[in-house]
Amino acid sequence: MKARQVNKRKNVAILFSGGDSPGMNAFARAFVRLGCNCYDSNILGVKDGYLGLVRSCQKLSCGALTSEDFESLLIDRRGQFGISCLDQDVVWLDGESVSGLARRGGIFLGCARCPEFFKSVFRREVVNLLAKLRIDSLVTCGGEGTLQGAQQLARESQLQVLGVPATIDNDTPGTETAIGVDTALNTIVEAVSRFSHTADSHHRIMVLEIMGRNSGYLAQTSALAAGAEIVVTPERGNLDEAKMRGIAERVERLMLKGRRHAIILVAEGVQVSPVADAGPAKALSDYLAAHFSHLRGPLNRIESRHSVLGHLQRGGAPSVADCILANQFAVSAWEEISANHQKGGILALTHGRMRLQPFGRSRRDLIRDRRSQYLLQKHVSKRWRGDSPHDIGQSERGGIQVAFAKR
């Protein structure tokens, strides 16, 4: 890394928006320390993502805070002190204010979803506020929604806006991975292993619902790593009667061949058709329970349970891989800021290299990239040839080779 002295002392704001992800703190720590120690810059931390900026604008516009008071608060309450003051939404950070964060989960500045930010009237006020604070660059850290907000802000202002992918969902087009994905996968794989112990004792089917919003990446990848029998993702269509029957029959065949339990991972974004009140894991688990209760013989005693893994997938200390990735993103962010080209975009990891991608890459590329992984999981999960009604075809062999070649 070449630490470059920038011509003019830069003012850079950072915020974390959307759902938090493990490793955000590691990114903040590296970003602030590099900014202070290598780039001689001022770093403004924004609390609770875009919401912190919107809140500041609202306080200023309704008169709850005068511009003079706002500016003197920023001078008087810096670092740790400003962070601990609940009535302060933006704070100048120093190297000390990020100490102890290297392996702490969550994000110390707070993280929030901010639907107001999708309205142009609020964004206009935010642009004016950042101009008043003489901010040159804004670094936004989060998932797809956060980066869409960043793209709009870049379009509507003179600011250099950089997006750093940080989301367990791994649904950011353009980058192979994001901060928090590896930790969430490790958490899920560990949980699946615990569920499989009890499932085996009771000869049960366990249907586990995995986060990921509209993306099946987490479910698909953890199924591959944990050795789950079946995975259901939104990319493969709705969960309708025919699909549930197919799954039930496959589990039945496995059990007839002597399997004592089955683990099924269902991505939370899977739509049940016709629409049901229950989530997809419960809908499938209920279907399987009913299917087995109608069978004759020992299979009639097979029970099914469902569980929603929920927010535990977002917590915990980041894995080593996520800590390193967070530091790499911080280095890359400073390289773009100090390059003085003012170009914005999304920092993305592709083929082992960090690059600046333009905003707005299509989700279709993301889905195409992931198909080979789906095929790999499907065939690796087959214990016996003929487990699944689909036999391996020529095109699928090609797909699997692609999955290996990409590594």
Q: Among all residues, which ones are annotated catalytic?
A: 169
| Number of neighbours of residue 317 by Cβ within 10 angstroms | 17
Structure tokens at 144: 């797809």
Q: Between 12 and 267, whose beta carbon lies closer to ligand F6P?
A: 267
378 Cβ contact list (under 8 Å, min separation 6): 388, 390
Span from 1-9, 44-52, 77-85, 206-214 in contact with ligand F6P (CB under 6 A) = 206-214
Q: Which amino acid is at 179?
A: I
What is the DSSP-derived secondary structure letter of residue 118? G
According to CB under 6 A, which one of 52, 82, 110, 143 is a site residue for ligand F6P?
143
Complete DSSP assignment for 225-247: HHT-SEEE-GGG--B-HHHHHHH
Structure tokens at 89: 């939404």
Q: Is 204 helix (H, G, I), strand (E, B) or coil?
A: strand
Closest contact distance (angstroms) between CB of 115 and ligand F6P is 12
Dihedral (Cα; 385, 386, 389, 395), 10-degree rounding: 30
Span from 48-56, 185-193, 211-219, 285-293 in contact with ligand F6P (CB under 6 A) = 211-219
| Count of chain residues binding ligand F6P (CB under 6 A) | 12
Q: Between 136 and 268, whose beta carbon lies closer to ligand F6P?
A: 268
Closest contact distance (angstroms) between CB of 94 and ligand F6P is 30
According to CB under 6 A, which one of 169, 322, 336, 387 is a site residue for ligand F6P?
169
Span from 210-218, 259-267, 285-293, 316-324 in contact with ligand F6P (CB under 6 A) = 210-218
Residue 175 near residue 256, CB atoms below 8 Å? no
Q: Is 252 helix (H, G, I), strand (E, B) or coil?
A: helix
- 302-321 residues near ligand F6P, rule: CB under 6 A: 314
- 53-82 residues near ligand F6P, rule: CB under 6 A: none
What is the DSSP-derived secondary structure letter of residue 272? B
Q: Which amino acid is at 23?
A: G
Contact between 280 and ligand F6P per CB under 6 A: no
Q: Which amino acid is at 25?
A: N
Phi, psi dihedrals of residue 266, rounded to the nearest 5°: -120, 125
Residue 225 near residue 193, CB atoms below 8 Å? no
Contact between 33 and ligand F6P per CB under 6 A: no
Give the contact letters, 105-134, x = binds to ligand F6P (CB under 6 A), - = no.
--------x---------------------
Q: Between 168 and 255, whose beta carbon lies closer to ligand F6P?
A: 168
According to CB under 6 A, which one of 213, 243, 305, 378 is a site residue for ligand F6P?
213
Q: Between 88 and 220, whose beta carbon lies closer to ligand F6P?
A: 220
CA nearest 260: which of 311, 218, 302, 215?
Answer: 302
CA nearest 403: which of 237, 235, 224?
Answer: 224
Q: Between 60 and 111, whose beta carbon lies closer to ligand F6P?
A: 111
Task: Give me the half-sphere count of Cα atoms (radius 13 Å) on the Cβ side of residue 364.
Answer: 1
Contact between 167 and ligand F6P per CB under 6 A: yes
H helix runs in 39-119, sequence order? 50-62, 67-76, 79-84
Q: Is 153 helix (H, G, I), strand (E, B) or coil?
A: helix
Closest contact distance (angstroms) between CB of 65 and ligand F6P is 28
Q: Between 19 and 45, whose beta carbon lies closer to ligand F6P?
A: 19
Q: Between 169 and 229, whose beta carbon lies closer to ligand F6P?
A: 169
Span from 82-90, 120-128, 163-171, 358-366 in contact with ligand F6P (CB under 6 A) = 163-171
According to CB under 6 A, which one of 46, 133, 150, 168 is a site residue for ligand F6P?
168
Contact between 19 and ligand F6P per CB under 6 A: yes
- Which stretches does DSSP call E strand in 127-216? 137-142, 160-165, 204-210
Structure tokens at 285: 């688990």
Q: Between 227 and 279, whose beta carbon lies closer to ligand F6P?
A: 279
According to CB under 6 A, which one of 212, 216, 280, 399 is a site residue for ligand F6P?
212
User: Which residues contribute to the site for ligand F6P (CB under 6 A)?
Assistant: 18-19, 113, 143, 167-169, 211-213, 268, 314
